[in-house]
């Protein structure tokens, strides 16, 4: 893995510009004005953009708090002391003043600002090959689109900036919430532009950890699917576009049937640079104290060694018994993904999906797991969902069956003959949503799947049907229609309560 360089670009905080200290020069830093001179400078800036994705405060392996822990898959049982604020996400008691929420917001916009700076400055550099320049532009637009896609689904209307912010006045000019549809329009524009570059179809043709046309098609397809499901206008057209781009990504695969790739191989550290199912991943460096993955050791429960050689003193990430019960009998994914820890101080299930107990990771647990953002089983099930919306049920079921076959489960038609399965998943929509849950558990898709398939009222009803005993200390009764969106962080809202209006209910 290449060394990551950070291009220090920060979106101005409006409330922090009263003094002239922002104009002071740090003698140890390189200013943006003097930075972009060579092609290599741009390459390092692109690396800095990808580095944003490694952070748990953005979309990296530690970002489950902002997605998976909001869902019915995982969460926190501890609501005391320092755990109180993280607990709010799964307890549906999230406050606008939550400091974790504020950090997530600012970190995501910092990543967007890095993309904007590169795109605004790249014309300063003379390239020997214009195709290379266009490739770097495409990579920056892909990352920007990815970050905005996460933000718009969580917060709804949000500020939108596509230019470098250089002054307080420029920052003030864009500090207002724009409609979701407008944000989606920009996301689509960025991804469409990125597809016009000479990026290769797969990351293997470029570099593992960098984007590709397969990744761009996959993301664009998911964007259109979300637009079709959540926006009021052009639903059929959006579902057709979702099908088009997801099918384009699927057609770029380098395998025939998904069953050719064992489920365990997808998460095998030794196979992360060769596994044909992986489309886009965030890289971590095994054995390195700064750039290694900690997901294996952090999920390890006391008394267990399946994930890591690290000697855990905790209980690992708390997963919901509701999820454990959702695995069908004989599902190979259950045995690989979760395990019960009988230790007296745990006595609960923990996550085993991410493992690195190699000597290279050692007892410190400096793992080599990459964080997978897009893979083919995900694309196939999204494509099945798009086809379902277009009344192409037979084609949707064929994709669903291929995912189930690898998991050692009967085909959908056969499963429907089982009274228990049929009662739990009475429609094709329910079956696809269930399959995504168990196939992609703990990969931070579940909350987005729920809000794509259920509106605010349906979401409340969905959680209301669950057993509190299967959900831990987080109170299911807390959920209301306001919880479809996160609150705008209070520090942002208070700057301009009119332009940065709060989401209803907060």
Virtual torsion, Cα 151, 154, 156, 158, nearest 10 deg: -30
Q: What integer pLDDT is reported at residue 176 of this predicted model? A: 96
Calculate Rg over the CA atoms of the chain: 22
Cα atoms in the Cβ-side hemisphere of radius 13 Å centred on 150: 25
User: Among candidates 304, 284, 261, which has minimal Cα distance to 360?
Assistant: 284
User: Among candidates 441, 460, 502, which has minimal Cα distance to 177?
Assistant: 502
Q: What integer pLDDT is reported at residue 318 of this predicted model? A: 85
Query: At which residue do the structure tokens 């596994």 appear?
Result: 275
Burial readout 19-51 (b: 16 or more C-beta within 10 A, e: otherwise):
eeeeeeeeeeeeebeebbeebebbebbbbbbbb
Q: Angle, to 10 degrees, between the axis of helix 428-439 and the axis of helix 376-389?
A: 170
Confidence of residue 468 (pLDDT cuts 50, 70, 90): very high
Task: Collapse the DSSP code of 187 into the 3-class scheme (helix H, G, I; strand E, B; otherwise coil) and give the result.
Answer: helix
Confidence of residue 28 (pLDDT cuts 50, 70, 90): low
Centre a 10 Å sphere on the Cβ of residue 316 and count the other Cβ atoms it contains.
22
Cα separation, 432 vs 423, in Å, equals 14
Listing DSSP states for 235-298 in one string gives: HHHHHHHHHHHHHHHHTT-S-S-GGGS-HHHHT-GGGTTT-TTEEEEE---TT-TTTSB-HHHH
Pairing of strands 338-341, 318-319: unpaired
Taking residues 95-122, report their average pLDDT. 98
pLDDT, one tens digit per residue, over 320-351 is 999 999 999 999 999 999 999 999 999 999 99
Domain locations in the chain as residue ranges: 1-198+454-506
Give yes or no for residue 232 having a pLDDT over 60. yes
Give yes or no for residue 7 having a pLDDT over 70. no
Taking residues 261-275, report their average pLDDT. 97
Q: What integer pLDDT is reported at residue 33 of this predicted model? A: 78
pLDDT, one tens digit per residue, over 419-460 is 999 999 999 999 999 999 999 999 999 999 999 999 999 999
Centre a 10 Å sphere on the Cβ of residue 75 and count the other Cβ atoms it contains.
24
CA 103 from chain centre, in angstroms, equals 16
Cα separation, 461 vs 287, in Å, equals 46
pLDDT, one tens digit per residue, over 187-222 is 999 999 999 999 999 998 889 999 999 999 999 999
Residue 74's beta-bridge partner residues?
Answer: 319
User: Among candidates 46, 32, 222, 75, which has minimal Cα distance to 141?
Assistant: 46
Q: Which two tokens stand for residue 140?
A: 């920056």
* pTM of this structure: 0.93
Cα separation, 440 vs 434, in Å, equals 10
Question: For every residue of 426-469, which 3-state class applies, written as one string?
Answer: CCHHHHHHHHHHHHCCCCCCHHHHHHHHCCHHHHHHHHHCCCHH
Q: Which two tokens stand for residue 122?
A: 């790249």
Q: Which of the listed CATH numbers 1.20.58.390, 1.25.40.10, 2.40.37.10, 1.25.40.390 matches domain 1-198+454-506?
A: 1.25.40.390
Residue 341's beta-bridge partner residues?
Answer: 348
Tally the residues of the chain: 506
User: Among candidates 111, 199, 117, 119, which has minimal Cα distance to 150?
Assistant: 111
């Amino acid at each position: 893995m290449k060394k990551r360089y950070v291009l220090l670009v920060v979106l101005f905080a409006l409330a922090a510009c009263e003094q002239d200290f922002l104009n002071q020069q740090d003698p140890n830093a390189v200013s943006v004005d003097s930075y972009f001179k060579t092609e290599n400078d741009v390459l390092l800036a692109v690396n800095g953009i990808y580095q944003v994705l490694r952070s748990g405060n953005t979309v990296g392996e530690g970002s489950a708090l902002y997605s998976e822990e909001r869902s019915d898959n995982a969460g926190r049982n501890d609501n005391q002391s320092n755990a109180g604020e993280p607990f709010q996400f799964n307890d549906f008691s999230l406050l606008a003043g939550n400091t974790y929420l504020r950090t997530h917001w600012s970190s995501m916009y910092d990543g967007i600002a890095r993309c904007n700076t590169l795109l605004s400055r790249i014309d300063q550099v003379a390239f020997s090959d214009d195709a290379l320049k266009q490739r770097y532009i495409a990579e920056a637009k892909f990352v920007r689109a990815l970050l905005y896609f996460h933000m718009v689904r969580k917060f709804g209307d949000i500020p939108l900036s596509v230019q470098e912010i250089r002054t307080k006045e420029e920052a003030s000019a864009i500090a207002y919430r724009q409609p979701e549809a407008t944000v989606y329009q920009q996301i689509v524009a960025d991804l469409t532009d990125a597809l016009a570059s000479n990026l290769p179809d797969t990351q293997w043709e470029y570099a593992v950890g960098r984007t590709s046309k397969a990744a761009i098609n996959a993301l664009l397809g998911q964007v259109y699917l979300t637009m079709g499901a959540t926006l009021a206008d052009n639903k059929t057209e959006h579902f057709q576009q979702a099908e088009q781009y997801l099918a384009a990504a699927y057609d770029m695969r380098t395998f025939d049937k998904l069953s050719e790739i064992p489920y365990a191989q997808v998460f095998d550290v030794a196979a992360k640079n060769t596994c044909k199912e992986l489309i886009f991943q965030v890289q971590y460096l095994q054995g390195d104290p700064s750039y290694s993955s900690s997901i294996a050791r952090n999920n390890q429960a006391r008394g267990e060694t399946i994930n890591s050689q690290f000697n855990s003193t905790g209980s690992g990430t708390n997963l919901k018994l509701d999820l454990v019960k959702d695995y069908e009998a004989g599902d190979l994914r259950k045995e690989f993904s979760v395990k019960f820890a009988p230790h007296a101080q745990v006595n609960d299930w923990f996550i085993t999906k991410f493992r690195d107990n190699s000597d290279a990771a050692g007892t410190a647990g400096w793992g080599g797991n990459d964080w997978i953002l897009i893979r083919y089983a995900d694309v196939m099930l999204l494509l099945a969902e798009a086809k379902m919306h277009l009344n192409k049920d037979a084609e949707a079921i064929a994709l669903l069956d291929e995912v189930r076959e690898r998991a050692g489960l009967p085909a959908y038609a056969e499963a429907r003959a089982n009274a228990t399965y049929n009662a739990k998943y009475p429609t094709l929509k329910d079956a696809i949503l269930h399959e995504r849950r168990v196939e992609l558990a703990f990969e931070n898709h579940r909350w987005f799947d729920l809000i794509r398939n259920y509106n605010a009222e349906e979401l409340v009803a969905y959680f209301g049907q669950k057993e509190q005993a299967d959900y831990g200390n987080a109170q299911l009764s807390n959920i209301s229609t306001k919880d479809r969106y996160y609150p705008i962080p209070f520090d942002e809202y208070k700057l301009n309560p009119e332009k940065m209006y709060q989401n209803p209910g907060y």
